Amino acid sequence: MDLYFKETGKDNSETIIFLHPEGTACWMWDNQLNVFNDYHCIVLDLPCHGKSVEVKPFSIKSSADMIIDIIKNKAKNGKAHLVGISLGAQIILQILSSTPEVVDHVLISGTLVRNLQPTETFSNLLNYLIEVYLPDKNKNIRIMSYVRSYNIPKNLRNKFKESTYVIDTDSLDRIIRENMLFKMPSDLDKVNVPVLVMTGQKDFKIIKESAVNLLDVLPNSKGTMAMKAGHLWNIENPELFNNVLRCWLNDENLPKGVELLGF
């Protein structure tokens, strides 16, 4: 079974592909599709998510390979701008590592990367948290805790719930482990693609530390923080996200509302 994707603006000359975070689906990018109508846009549901829920098993590497195939077959001139948050951003890093020639500009945000093998203590803790979470994943109290944490607007909460419901527990186990244990891909230091590495100001500490690590490795990268924003800031503050993305794609100065990363 192939990945579900949809396209807008097929007559435009440049392609943007948007990759959603774990546990959501391509509805995450509705506020971007409405604005970037001067681009050929592709949004998709990652394996084991949304309308791609039967594309199994999940791995970041196989997801990257599927998206590379979409770029080669669907993107204008076989090349695309890539935009991703969290799990989507990790997949973009994997694409940059293996096939940077299909990528034009990149915006990634909320990207967790690890430079070292996880300790036994961390592995045991992760196993415990997954064991506790999976049986309760569809309970309203659990879902609403994520809604509050990510500041998901009311009009999107039902879509978030639906996205949670459709992922089976075995797939979610794999997704969480792939996300939490993702290591810095090889050869990123040789990638000259322009990469904007972002976090939300309210993002998790480990995400901000990962951003600094990425800036140290990616030779043509810039790091900025979306002020007063959290992990899923493309839905929390879509106007700012869209302004940042358009400036980045046009090689312009970034707008007010973001600050250079510095910890």
User: Quick one: average pLDDT of 141-157?
Assistant: 92
**What is the CATH topology of the domain spanning 5-260?**
Rossmann fold (3.40.50)
State mean pLDDT over 87-107.
98
Nearest to 111 by CA among 236, 251, 252, 217: 217
Q: What is the CB neighbour count within 10 angstroms for residue 10? A: 11
Residue 117 has a pLDDT of 79
Nearest to 96 by CA among 214, 250, 211: 214
How far apart CA 109 and CA 166 sit, in angstroms, is 25
Q: What digits encode the pLDDT tens for the residues 16-67? A: 999 999 999 999 999 999 999 999 999 999 999 999 999 999 999 999 999 9
pLDDT band at 262 (very low <50, low <70, confident <90, very high): low
- The rounded distance, in Å, linking the Cα atoms of 256 and 127 is 41
CB atoms within 10 A of CB 222: 15
Long-range Cβ contacts of 148-152 (<8 Å, 24+ apart): 149/230, 149/231, 150/230, 150/231, 150/232, 150/236, 151/230, 151/232, 151/236, 152/232, 152/235
Domain ranges in the chain?
5-260
Query: Rounded to whole angstroms, how far apart are CA atoms 175 and 198?
Result: 22
What's this model's pTM, rounded to 2 decimal places? 0.96
pLDDT at 96 over 70: yes
Residue 108 CA to residue 118 CA, distance in Å, equals 23
**Ramachandran bin of 156, using left for φ above 0, alpha for ψ from -120 to 50, beta for the remaining angles:** alpha
Q: pLDDT per residue over 174-209, tens digit each?
A: 999 999 999 999 999 999 999 999 999 999 999 999
Phi, psi at residue 212, to the nearest 5°?
Answer: -65, -40
**Mean per-residue pLDDT of the chain:** 96
Rounded Cα gap, residues 40 and 17, in angstroms: 9
The amino acid at 128:
Y
